[in-house]
Chains A and B, each alone.
Chain A
Amino acid sequence: MAKKLEMPKMGYDMVEGTLAKWLKQPGDEVSRGEPIAEVETDKVTIEIEAFEAGKIIKFLVNEGDTVPVGAPIAEIDDGSGDEEAEESAEANASVTPSSDAPAVGEGAEAAPTAPAVAAQPEKVEAAPAESAPAESTGRLVATPVARGLAEQRGVNLAGLKGSGPDGRIVKADVLAAASEPKAAPAAAAAPAVSEPKAAPAAAAAPVASPVPAPVGLVFAPPAPNAVYSEEPLSRLRQTAAKRMVESQQQVPPFFVTSTIEMDAIQELLPKLREAHGGKLSVTELLLKACAIALKKFPSLNATFAGDKLLVHKDVHISVAVATDAGLLAPVVRNCDSLSLGAISSQMRDVIGRTREGKAGLDDLQGGTFTVSNLGMFDVTNFIAIITPPQSAILAVGSTIATPVVRDGEIVIRHLMNLTVSADHRATDGATVAQFLVELKNLLQNPFKLLL
């Protein structure tokens, strides 16, 4: 039976997508989760994957075409039932608009429906009425509670077979899928020792959500007699792996470090907390300082786009957060125009949601710069990997009491190392150095953050 693959909606504000490249040809067999095409949105290029196994009948859009979200882009034969009738019905359906429609269209006032109906009376009879609603539109039919639950548990509805009438996906289907052992984010926390039986992983594979293609070097066991347990990677970690390899391979980074005296901040912070009446940490002060400094050095708040630099007007800062599922970077929006208090409440809100596994795509995408703070782990400094399409990331080390020389005297100061990794195509060492000087100026005179 022919099913339509639609232009997916990959962000809340996505209304159309450009088909960048077909990765398959008509006639190719695809398995579920296999990439079929690359789609470009205003944000990213994403591979779209087959929702189930089948054979590509035809493409409905050409490379370079831009079509609205939900528009059919390809037809895939899933190999189920009644192919003859379906195919001829499909053929009729696709022929009707091109051959009959013009005539009907011109005489639109007169007998608008009669010709179309007359053209294929037997075919209409042949199609079982029961299956028509769900199948003919290619729409994914799931109950509201099933949809909500799928989103909560990270179950990909497109990969499910519904047990309801006409294949409707119901709550029980989602619950069953969510409880299956597979490499989905929800199940990722529990590592499985797969030594005794490799079968479960293979059996689970067809229902698992599509995973990104492996990138970079993939290694075999180091020795034939090596003793190890096999821990399946979550989709999140696989995606992260792919992005990190892409960044290291294709983005030329350079690194600049500066040391900041944090004594003034340490003095100010308790007073700020009291005035704010809520939680407040160095991270919020860092976000505010970065936002101010980024406005002065916009090439660090930008995206390298080949022959041009996309300089972002707003400062949306991704904050790296370790969660049970892995590393995520929820976005604190408009840090440049928000007060410390507002930054704090937004940050705590979005981080909370992220830790609870409730963050949506909108919480996690759209950042223009990243702050990664490992200060709580007693690290002197570290170097972070740039996350494209951003052009820079700030790595924050611990604040450490250190003897320093001031006016010829040895005194104790609380020092913190900041290291910027930046895309050398987008910006240069002198700019990053000045950015760090600006950060230092702000953080050592933190009242400037309050203006």
Chain B
Amino acid sequence: MPVITYSEALRQALREAMTNDPRVFIIGEDVVHYDSAYGVTKGFLKEFGPERIKDMPIAEAGYAGLGIGAAMNGLRPVVEMMTTNFAILALDMIINHAAKLHYMFGGQFTCPIVFRMPNGYGQLSATHSQAFDNYYAYMPGLKVVVPGTPYDAKGLMKAAIEDPDPVIFIEHTGIYNIKGEVPEESYTVPIGKSNLLHDGKDVTIVGYGRMIPYCQQAVETLASEGIDAALVDLRTIRPLDMEPVLESFRKTNRAVIATEEWTSVGVGSEIAARLYTEGFDHLDAPIWRVGFDEVPMPYAKNLEAHVVPNADSVIQAVKNVLAGKTQKIRQQ
């Protein structure tokens, strides 16, 4: 099976959808002549022509609305937001229109649209280094997928474009170049299905998106120290599929939740709440959550590195859980 990057996996999925379905088109900032900010749509202008891929002005709410209108009228737009930080300018369109149309018009319209947007950081400072996963995961009417492997990136993108509802597709600048096995043929990964990536008996690590490669590293390192960690990749954070998480937790009785977001009131908080309620009788230690320190992202490289989680943060959290320690989350 070919080994390709996450970015290439996305490109394959988009290309396949554009080729097979004339209703699919792409809009966004710098997606045409600049080959998009992270190169995902590289070469698409030549392949599909200017009718199928269009550059947009710096007016996120405007072109998000354009996409939503097109979706209501039967097209299958893929709207690329250059980053999640810019996408918040389109929150009204996404939340008050895309998420609500099907419900508010009594089912007369659907809104089959995909919003692609990467999280990320890397000396981009406070306003450009954020994660809003929970904003979307909070909202009934949306589906939110956050693939953590090239295989899932391709399969979930195909599923997102085929889905009749608005799908928020969250990527990450730090993950575009990771590699993995991806079949050339067409396939989809179902939205709303978590995936046990690694079985283990000592602790259940739950993560998604950018944290998955870190968690995989952590699982390997922990194994070399004799700690047998399980890893569940949520893949979709709305609707949330807790069953594989609970199934593992019933064996391990301990959990670490690794998400790249501010820890309090995040997606991880919801996972923890579900484990505490649905998994109560199986609990053997307080749950730990790994995430950003609760500060605006610093620009200085050393400070930034201190704030963001990585494989070591996951390993440390696992050890804390195994020692039965209680996490104290400090909000500034």
Contacts and interface: CB of A to CB of B under 8 A. Distances in A.
B326 A165 contact: yes
Contact of A168 (B253, B281, B324): B324
Interface in B284-329: 284-285, 323-326
A143 B325 contact: no
A238 B282 CA distance: 33
B75 interface: no
A170 B283 contact: no
B135 interface: no
B280 interface: yes
Contacts of A165: 323-326
A164 B284 CA distance: 10
Contact of A164 (B280, B281, B283, B285): B285
A145 B283 CA distance: 5
A216 interface: no
Interface in A163-185: 164-165, 168, 170-171
Contacts of B284: 143-146, 170-171
A148 interface: yes
A94 B326 CA distance: 31
Contacts of A171: 253, 284
B323 A143 contact: no
A435 to B, nearest CB: 46
A119 to B, nearest CB: 29
A433 B277 CA distance: 58
B281 A145 contact: yes
Interface of B is mostly: loop
Contacts of A145: 253, 281-284
B285 A144 contact: no
Chain B interface residue bracket vs A: 10 to 19
A81 B243 CA distance: 45
Contacts of A164: 285, 324
Interface in A126-157: 143-146, 148
Nearest to A147: B281
Given A164-B324, A165-B325, A170 B282 contact: no
A358 to B, nearest CB: 15
A145 B254 CA distance: 10
Given A165-B326, A171-B253, A143 B285 contact: yes
A106 to B, nearest CB: 39
Interface in A267-310: none
Nearest to B325: A165
A144 B280 contact: yes
A144 B282 contact: yes
A351 B81 CA distance: 65
A319 to B, nearest CB: 30
9 contacts: A144-B282, A144-B283, A144-B284, A145-B253, A145-B281, A145-B282, A164-B285, A170-B285, A171-B253
Closest 9 interchain pairs by CB? A164-B324, A171-B284, A145-B284, A143-B284, A144-B283, A145-B253, A145-B282, A144-B281, A165-B324
Interface of A: 143-146, 148, 164-165, 168, 170-171
Given A144-B281, A165-B324, A170-B285, 18 more contacts: A143-B253, A143-B284, A143-B285, A144-B280, A144-B282, A144-B283, A145-B281, A145-B282, A145-B283, A145-B284, A146-B284, A164-B285, A165-B323, A165-B326, A168-B324, A170-B284, A171-B253, A171-B284
